[in-house]
Structure 1
Amino acid sequence: MVETENLIATKKESKNEEPSRHQFKTWYEYFFSVNNLCIGLTNFIIFPAKVHEYRGGAFLIAYFCMLIVIGYPAHYLESIIGQYHRSSLMLFMIRCAPILQGFDCYQFFDEKCPDLRSGHIVFKGVCVNETDLPTEGIQSAEEQYLHSVVHKSVKSHMSFSNFDSGMACSIFIIWLSIAFIQLRAGNKTTPLIYVPTVIIFLICPFFFFRALHLDGATI
């Protein structure tokens, strides 16, 4: 009987001495813990090591660039969505992106007149019947911006609206330089292999800064 009481008392003491729930102290501790559950830290570490082992070092540049530029933000975005998915849409948008707090006002003013189709007598002087509006030749605001601003602005040699000789020469020179580098490198490990890998990822920032010069483009 005494041994049973001692055993029960020992169990109670062990329960009271249980550590509290672990709290993450730093952001990287949380990041690596979640990554370990999602993909496993072994894959996260072994993959670059295997790439380097088989002389694919050029791919590591793209790997780490995409990890930093896209991987980390996407990971935290999914964490935010998982944290606030039970909230309303506007509360979710305000918490994720406080700059969009006025988005609900935009939606309110962008909506059509609520009594547009009912023909209520109160709104007769304000609203018009939808059947009286012309249906042909009407363009949305997006289509007008596309034709009047974007298509008129892209007149350089990197234009995507038309395939001109300047764009053809640029693409031909890029592919010619890549072929020359690959032929010169052969099976040897040479720094020239890094050039075609890096040049591809330099094109995206080029398009981004070029898009900022379009009429009406703002950050």
Structure 2
Amino acid sequence: MLSATIFKDHTYLPPHFVDPVHTTRANAIFSHSNTFYASMKWSSTRPENQTAFCYKLFRGADYLIRHQINSGTSFGIFDTTYKYKHPESSDMDATNEQLLAQINFPPLFGLFFSELEGRDARASATRKVEGPHKVLQRNGTSTRADYEAQGLMKKLAQWLMREAAGRGYIGIEIPCAHDAVIKAWLYPPSPFKASVVSQFDAKSYEKEVDGHMIKPFAPSEQVVSLEN
């Protein structure tokens, strides 16, 4: 489930449903912010050309963004007064057609999620929820870099909590890789409650690869967590 802060104005705007027509733009913001501005250094696997990494992440993340938007539970804050710097940018297909062909999806995302899942110490009965539409598997917070520090991520998160409760969901599960996101979801407004169910330190995390211990997330300095 995607809950991306996609566009914003200087005043708080109510969240809107993210339609499949917004897929390219949502993915562009997701890929750009995760390459250049994330506290987790996803692009450390390709430090010599981060722009190329961003393009490849865009191509590799397409299936994820489309799946989340097609779920019908993706929302964003849109700046309806935004003016394109280049008129041709309004053609949402233009950028997509010009991007480099995808070679491989960055492996660190898979390791990130599997490690959090493996460290979840809750009993199986506690983790298992019977039936659909009970727990939102929330993922994909991204804010346009030049629109950060406006409190929109927190406002959208709290709005989503109320929206999910109104739809009958009993919980939201979210992996967090940024202190601001962790704080927003760990300390929700009443009557909502949250707890950390697993976490690890990306800076000190080690994994054996071909008989050698490596730090795949280095040089990230971020404690990541799974919250429920």
Return the TM-score normalized by structure 2: 0.20
**TM-score normalised by L of structure 1:** 0.20
The answer to which structure has the higher helix fraction is: 1
